[in-house]
């Protein structure tokens, strides 16, 4: 795992260098599972990076992975509200709705149809070995594993492969899923690619690893989507201040960046520093021995300053939900056109043409 992680990281760095020169050689697909509202961790870890790639001119698809919500729970929750909220956050951060294709799983039935031949290309033991799925099974605390929880990485492969995305910006937890997508692209070609003469239908996608540090929640645990320990993008400046004032710290008045021994304080330093694009140690020096109250003041200012323009655009967009519907309908149509074309090629390759 570690060695292959190193290899992925090296390859990701190479791609990063090439992106500046050849942005249109890439097609990015990424997205999220709409299980809650996006927070500052998403903003610093992924959304900001998407906007950077978009501004470089990299073509991009953003998916709201709504079918992935029901992998590990009975009810989808307020899913419409969450899909809208996530899409609006992406747009408010700076993704242009003319250029970027925004869509939800459920609007592209061809994805589900691709799932069947793709499922035939992986074995049950391979699915059961997926470390991210294993973690998710463990997190359900004894809930019986649904067929969808075991197989969603294959559905996720369809997300990436249907539109021939060759680059997926993702965190470490998504690496096993990307491996499934690469495996399926390869095996499909081995099994069905003979003699077509047109070259492979699917390209094996590569990973663009995020180098953004992992942000923790205000209680020092994992910052959760829809969690009480999060600073959501959609919060007001006041709500942000209230939440941050309650953040867990320690009683040492001297503020230093020491993630191992002082995780909560270091996490606040990291959030402020990332918003300000400086080193966390620099923020620590600024606070000196003024204590966690002074630190929190800096964090509140940094977060609210960074998010102010995003929040202003967000508020505008939320006034017009019909426009969000239109964006999703347009993106869904575009995704469907591509998916239909891919599915036609798949049916041809398998020989299912009557």
Residues 6+ apart with CB under 8 A from 244: 218, 231, 268, 296, 299, 300, 303
Provide the minimum distance between the beta carbon of 120 and ligand TRP in the complex, in angstroms, as a whole number.
20
Pick from 19, 27, 28, 33: which binds ligand TRP (CB under 6 A)?
A: 33
Closest CA to 213 of 279, 303, 294, 136: 279
If the CB atoms of residues 135 and 238 are measured against ligand TRP, the closer one turns out to be 135
DSSP type of residue 354: -
Please give the Cα distance from 281 to 295 (Å, whole number): 12
Rounded to whole angstroms, the Cα distance separating 265 from 33 reads: 29
Q: How far is the CB of 63 from ligand TRP (least distance, A)?
A: 5
| Rounded (10°) angle between helices 175-192 and 321-350 | 40
Site for ligand TRP in 145-164 (CB under 6 A): 156, 159-160
Alpha-carbon distance 284 to 264, whole Å? 13
Letters for 10-29 (x = contact with ligand TRP by CB under 6 A, - = none) are: -------------------x
Residues numbered 47-86 forming contacts with ligand TRP, rule: CB under 6 A: 63, 65, 68
Minimal distance, residue 168 CB to ligand TRP, in Å: 5
**Nearest distance from C-beta of residue 194 to ligand TRP, angstroms:** 29
Taking the complex as a whole, the smallest distance from the CB of residue 171 to ligand TRP amounts, in Å, to 8
Q: Does 39 bind ligand TRP (CB under 6 A)?
A: no
Ramachandran class of 63: left when φ > 0, alpha when ψ lies in -120 to 50, beta otherwise: beta
Cβ at position 182, least distance to ligand TRP in Å: 13
Q: Could you tell me if 201 and 345 are in contact, meaning their C-beta atoms sit under 8 angstroms apart?
A: yes
Q: How many residues bind ligand TRP (CB under 6 A)?
A: 14
| 30/240 with CB nearer ligand TRP | 30
**CA–CA gap between residue 229 and residue 42 (Å, rounded):** 14
Per-residue contact string for residues 159-188; x = within reach of ligand TRP by CB under 6 A:
xx-------x-x---x--------------
Cβ proximity to ligand TRP, 34 vs 280, nearer residue:
34
* Residue 208: its H or E element: strand 206-209
Binding residues for ligand TRP (CB under 6 A): 29-33, 63, 65, 68, 156, 159-160, 168, 170, 174
């Amino acid at each position: 795992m570690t060695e292959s992680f190193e290899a992925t990281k090296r390859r990701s760095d190479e791609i990063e260098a090439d992106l500046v020169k050849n942005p249109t050689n890439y097609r990015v697909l990424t997205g999220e599972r709409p299980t809650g509202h996006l927070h500052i961790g998403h903003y610093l870890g992924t959304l900001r990076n998407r906007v950077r790639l978009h501004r470089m001119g990299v073509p991009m698809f953003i998916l709201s992975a709504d079918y992935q919500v029901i992998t590990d729970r009975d009810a989808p929750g307020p899913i419409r509200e969450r899909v809208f909220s996530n899409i609006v956050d992406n747009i408010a951060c700076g993704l242009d709705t003319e250029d970027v294709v925004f869509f939800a799983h459920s609007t592209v039935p061809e994805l589900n149809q691709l799932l069947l031949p793709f499922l035939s290309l992986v074995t049950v033991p391979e699915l059961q070995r997926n470390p991210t799925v294993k973690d998710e099974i463990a997190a359900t605390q004894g809930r019986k594993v649904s067929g969808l929880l075991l197989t969603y990485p294959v559905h996720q492969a369809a997300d990436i492969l249907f539109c021939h995305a060759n680059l997926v910006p993702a965190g470490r937890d998504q690496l096993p899923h990307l491996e499934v997508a690469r495996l399926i692209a390869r095996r499909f070609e081995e099994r069905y690619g003979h003699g077509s003469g047109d070259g492979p239908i699917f390209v094996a996608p590569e990973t663009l690893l995020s180098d953004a540090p992992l942000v923790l929640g205000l209680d020092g645990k994992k910052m959760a989507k829809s969690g009480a320990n999060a600073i959501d993008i959609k919060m007001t400046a006041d709500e942000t201040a209230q939440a941050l004032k309650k953040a867990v710290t320690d009683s040492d008045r001297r503020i230093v960046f020491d993630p191992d021994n002082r995780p909560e304080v270091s996490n606040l330093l990291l959030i402020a520093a990332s918003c300000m694009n400086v080193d966390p140690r620099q923020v620590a020096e600024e606070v000196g021995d003024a204590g966690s109250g002074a630190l929190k003041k800096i964090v509140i200012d940094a977060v609210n300053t960074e998010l102010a323009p995003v929040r202003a655009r967000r508020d505008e967009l939320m006034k017009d939900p019909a426009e969000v519907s239109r964006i999703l309908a347009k993106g869904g149509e575009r995704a469907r056109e591509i998916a239909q074309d891919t599915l036609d090629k798949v049916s041809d390759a398998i020989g299912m043409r009557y």
